[in-house]
Amino acid sequence: MSRGRWDYQPALDTVNHWITERPRAVILAFLLVTGLFAGGLANIQFDAGTDAFTDDVPEQQALDRVDQEFEPAFDDDETTTQLLQRGENVLSRDGVLRMLELQYRIERNPDMRVVEATSPARGVAQVLDPNAETLEAQIYAVEGATEAEVRAAARTLVEENPAITRSLSDDFNEREMHASATIGVVTHQIPEGGDDTEREIQRQVESTADGVGGDVIVFGGGIFDAEFEAALVDSLSIMVPAVGLLILLFLIVAYRDPVDLILGLVSLFMAVIWTFGFTGIAGIPFNQMMVAVPPLLLAVGIDFGIHAVNRYREERIAGEGIHDGMTAASNQLLVAFFIVTGTTAIGFGANMASDLGPIQEFGFVASVGIAFTFLIFGVFMPAAKVFLDDLREGTRFPEFSNEPLGSEESTLGKILPLGAVAGRKAPIAMLLLLLVATAGMGVLATDVETRFDDEDFLPYEEMPVYIDVIPEPLGPGEYTVTEAVNFLGDNFETGEDDEVTVYAEGPLRQPYALESIHRAGADPPPTFVADGDRAVARSVVTVMQEYAEEDPEFAALLAENDVSGNGVPDRNLEEIYDALLSSPVREEALNYVSEDLDATRVIYSVEADAGQEPVTRDARDVAGDYRLEATATGNIVVFQALTELILESAIVSLAIALAVTGVFLVVVYDVLERRASLGIANLVPIVVTVVFLAGTMPLLDIPFNALTATILSITIGIGVAYSVHITHRFIDEYNQNPDVYAALLTTLRGTGGGITGSMITTAGGVGSLLLAVSPMLGQFGLLMSVSVIYSYLAALIVLPPTLIVWERRFG
């Protein structure tokens, strides 16, 4: 112990005793635990989709209450399938017949469990023959009609039922009776717990549609869920072999010894089994974000493995035996690994501060995985290395290269110290130059976009060439869900994109209740569609006013209780509600007011070209004008709320990761070396890396989304490893020889070689996420690779002059 450092050597001696003297016991214990966790793999459940992100969002909870209170619901045992017919005039005789024939074939198949089938085609047929109630009869009606008669029937249908145009594409031409697409709906009865049945039925519908001909996309919840899960499985089935091949190639170069190579791969495999076996046992679902966990574990595991082998080889080259060499290597590396594990777990775990459940789970699982990785590479791998080297010592097993990466005579050994060489003469000037560059990247970082969209989670509509050329059986399957979602959004007015809802709870019987709703629509904000000086809206008030135009008795009741004279009753509201809910418009009224009169909704139309952010802001302002407890909601508002949470998550997680990592490093270096300032020096290259990465995102046109929002805190977790290894090795060398430049040269050639191998392997491993069939995962993989490269360069270029300045001030 020197300079009052904490004496942690007894703890290291105990661990080293088990590693070097009891390696078999260590190996057996780790294999038994591996078997335990392997059993948990069978319990892993897939959870695809975006529902988990919205569960705890107040705006989504309000929307759920709206759906429960006011939206007509299917029975619990029913589901629907949408038939998106396109590629022809769907209102022509042939187009109408094609939809009818498809729905007829689906209906007559008992396995399809059809309850009801609706479409504009059925409406056209019933105009031709009002007595044609069945699909078969409707087919006969259309077959017996001419082209002109079918179009005339379509015109009559649209005139009598304008709402039918919602099921026709946006290019519907009323004069020509032409539309390029339409939606037919089939309702199926599903047995309780029949999720698989739903998928089977909708796959059968797809086969039936293929048999009818034409261009029909089948879309439904079963297909949606099935393709999301298939995307996860396909991503893993493509990535795992690719990662395995890349890691194999890189580790062959790094280890240059088949025994060490196999040992490294086994250790990586164990880390993944432990982590996901734990998630299965803990009941944590596997969602899209979890696909990113294995590459992160591989990133840290590869780093640990290469450093363990490289440092051990340095001792063996210096003349140490197997046991003494591993003891010397472990004495240094276990402390470095502990620091790296702590900072990495902090970086990953900072995501647990997010308000979004899947991000919290991602941060937790990644942190647990890093702890497992530390145990496996810090204890199991050295023990196995000692055991295997003992076995082959004195045998004829061939000796392979034991040269550490970055030795002084190698080309790499001459390149690695350049940061120290450049920083030796003018370290402050070099740091100021880097500060200017970092500030410039910080300005670019302000342009990073933030968004949350269903499409972020969808597979590619058309696979990139580098994925599409992957041969069977590793290649991705066929996906239709993205095409269907995009087609619906591009060609149909769903209404949800051009409206917001205010959900209000409170005593609707109070005199001010309806007046409050009415007044909130006055002087509408700019993103709301206006009719004069009022917002275009639909509410229980509009239902009352429309019914009053039809029923003089109800009109008199309204007028009698309208003290203000503005057409809105402001007294005896319970009597008015009773009259309304006992009238012929009862069902329409219940679309806007709950039967117990405790909740209501108002649907406001918004400008189609208005942005998500201003619409949400205006909707919240209008909700704030209610005298009731009101919440702005709807898809626009929910997605904007999630966008805000994602940005908040990125900033909060980054702030927590930076602050806690900084405190951790200061405390650790104070306890271990009595040099707290070394922790701050260690943090400098990490800050540079984070800013450079954030500035690179807009250059690559990558936004903050549900997954990439975690990248900044993860960068701290991954990137700090390179700086910690350099700093910890440097201070060990500096304690032995207080010549800062000599210590840096030894460190950069020795440990620098290890982090070089780690960087190449890690960048390739995490970059394999580009092979995922989801664009969001591909963006994350690209950012991770860039992050690893930036972290490596910062450790070699930014850290040496920082340590030189540190030594001059504090050394």
Whole-number Cα distances in Å, 198 to 203, 225, 478: 9, 10, 19
Task: Count the Cβ atoms, other than its own, within 10 Å of residue 114.
Answer: 20
- How many contiguous H segments (helices) and E segments (strands) does the chain have? 32, 10
Q: Per-residue pLDDT for 565 more than 60? A: yes
Q: Tens digits of per-residue pLDDT, 415-459? A: 766 766 666 778 888 889 999 999 999 999 999 888 777 677 778
User: For the chain, how many residues are written?
Assistant: 811
Task: Count the Cβ atoms, other than its own, within 10 Å of residue 25.
Answer: 11
Give the per-residue pLDDT at 74.
46
623 neighbors 522 (Cβ within 8 angstroms): no
Selection from 47, 31, 28 nearest residue 279 by Cα: 47
The enclosing H or E element of 666 equals helix 635-673
Torsions phi, psi of 536, nearest 5? -75, 115
501 neighbors 603 (Cβ within 8 angstroms): yes
Distance CA 689, CA 791 (A): 6
Say whether pTM exceeds 0.85.
no
pLDDT band at 726 (very low <50, low <70, confident <90, very high): confident
Q: At what angle are helices 293-317 and 740-767 packed, to 10 degrees?
A: 140
DSSP SS3 for 82? strand
For 509-524, give one letter per residue: b (16+ CB within 10 A) or e.
Answer: ebeebbbbbbebbeeb
Percent of the chain past pLDDT 90, that is, above it, reads 26
Q: Per-residue pLDDT for 789 more than 70? A: yes
Q: Per-residue pLDDT for 410 more than 60? A: no
What average pLDDT does range 288-292 have in this prediction? 78
Category of 233 on φ-ψ map: left (φ > 0), alpha (ψ -120 to 50) or beta: alpha
The enclosing H or E element of 537 equals strand 537-538
CA triplet 499, 636, 479: central angle to 5 degrees?
Answer: 110
Distance CA 662, CA 668 (A): 10
Give the per-residue pLDDT at 396.
54
Q: Per-residue pLDDT for 2 more than 50? A: no
Of the candidate ranges 2-11, 538-547, 651-660, the one whose mean pLDDT is the lowest: 2-11
Give the per-residue pLDDT at 484.
83
Whole-number Cα distances in Å, 455 to 87, 285, 342, 451, 781: 24, 21, 35, 11, 18
Give the per-residue pLDDT at 399.
56
pLDDT band at 146 (very low <50, low <70, confident <90, very high): very high
Category of 81 on φ-ψ map: left (φ > 0), alpha (ψ -120 to 50) or beta: beta
pLDDT band at 786 (very low <50, low <70, confident <90, very high): very high
* Residue in this structure with the two tokens 């700019």, named with its chain if needed: 526
pLDDT band at 3 (very low <50, low <70, confident <90, very high): very low
Category of 407 on φ-ψ map: left (φ > 0), alpha (ψ -120 to 50) or beta: beta
In terms of DSSP H, where are the helices of 166-320?
195-212, 221-255, 258-282, 293-317
600 neighbors 540 (Cβ within 8 angstroms): yes
Q: Tens digits of per-residue pLDDT, 568-613? A: 888 888 899 899 889 888 888 888 998 888 999 999 988 877 788 8
Q: Which DSSP string do the residues of 148-166 spell out, in sequence order?
A: HHHHHHHHHHHHH-GGGGG
User: What is the residue-averaged pLDDT of the chain?
Assistant: 84
Q: Per-residue pLDDT for 524 more than 80? A: yes
Q: For residue 388, what are its two tokens?
A: 């295997």
Q: For residue 346, what are its two tokens?
A: 């902090």
Percent of the chain past pLDDT 70, that is, above it, reads 91
Give the per-residue pLDDT at 49.
58
Distance CA 288, CA 774 (A): 9
Higher pLDDT, 71 or 265: 265
Torsions phi, psi of 219, nearest 5? -140, 135
DSSP SS3 for 39? helix
Q: Tens digits of per-residue pLDDT, 169-205? A: 888 998 889 999 999 999 988 876 655 678 888 889 9
Higher pLDDT, 501 or 309: 501
Q: Per-residue pLDDT for 704 more than 50? A: yes
Q: Per-residue pLDDT for 329 more than 80? A: yes
Give the per-residue pLDDT at 758.
76
Task: Count the Cβ atoms, other than its own, within 10 Å of residue 401.
Answer: 10
Distance CA 619, CA 36 (A): 53
Q: Which amino acid is it at 204?
A: Q
Q: Per-residue pLDDT for 73 more than 60? A: no
Higher pLDDT, 462 or 272: 272
Characterize the bridge pairing of strands 629-633 and 114-118: unpaired
Give the per-residue pLDDT at 1.
37
